[in-house]
Copies of this chain bind each other. A is one copy, B any other.
Amino acid sequence: MAAEITYEQLNKLNAAYGSCIDDDRLEAWPEFFQDACLYKITTADNYRQGLAAGLVYADTKGMLRDRVTALREANVYERQWYRHLIGSPVIVECGQEGVRAETAFLVTRIMRGGKTDLFATGKYIDRIVVDSEGRIRLAERVVVCDSGTVDTLLAIPL
């Protein structure tokens, strides 16, 4: 199954993923995942120490949808925009369970007044699969943030 996934498809998936968030089409964001999935945001320190505790955790597409709903309802804060720059993937493994890949990312945040800052850098640790309808989906995306001080309380997905 994994043999069907090309490097170009991985790049297109990541580009579409970033664009979806940056264009504020958050309702479409869960569709990048399988129904049974793992989405987790953690820090590099936690990840290196093997700590399970993450900043965000979801293991079904429904939980991802709930997160988007919560974000929309909590939208009482100053409006912010994001911009994802995503590197080329490193393919770590390619087998029956899909493609395991790691990919560097950088996200900037644009405040209402126009001020732009470096919001987060890190890497995606992914497992990508082909679903029963032939579409490329994330079975797992663990977002490992380099810094331990990322403000993800109010944040959009990374």
Contacts of A117 in B (CB 8 A): 118
A residues in contact (CB < 8 Å) with B: 7-8, 11-12, 14-16, 18-19, 22, 44, 81, 83-91, 102-106, 108, 110, 113-118, 120-123, 146-149
Determine which of B11, B106, B108, B116 lies in contact with A88 in the assembled complex, contact meaning CB atoms within 8 Å: B11
| Contact between B12 and A88, CB atoms less than 8 A apart | yes
| Contact between A121 and B114, CB atoms less than 8 A apart | no
| Contact between A87 and B90, CB atoms less than 8 A apart | no
Task: A109 to B91: give the CA distance in the assembly, Å.
Answer: 24
Task: A44 to B85: give the CA distance in the assembly, Å.
Answer: 17
Task: A106 to B114: give the CA distance in the assembly, Å.
Answer: 15
Determine which of B7, B87, B89 lies in contact with A84 in the assembled complex, contact meaning CB atoms within 8 Å: B87
| Contact between B19 and A83, CB atoms less than 8 A apart | no
Q: Write the chain B residue with the least CB distance to A43.
A: B114
Q: In the assembled complex, how far is the CB of residue A62 from the closest CB belonging to chain B, in whole angstroms?
A: 26
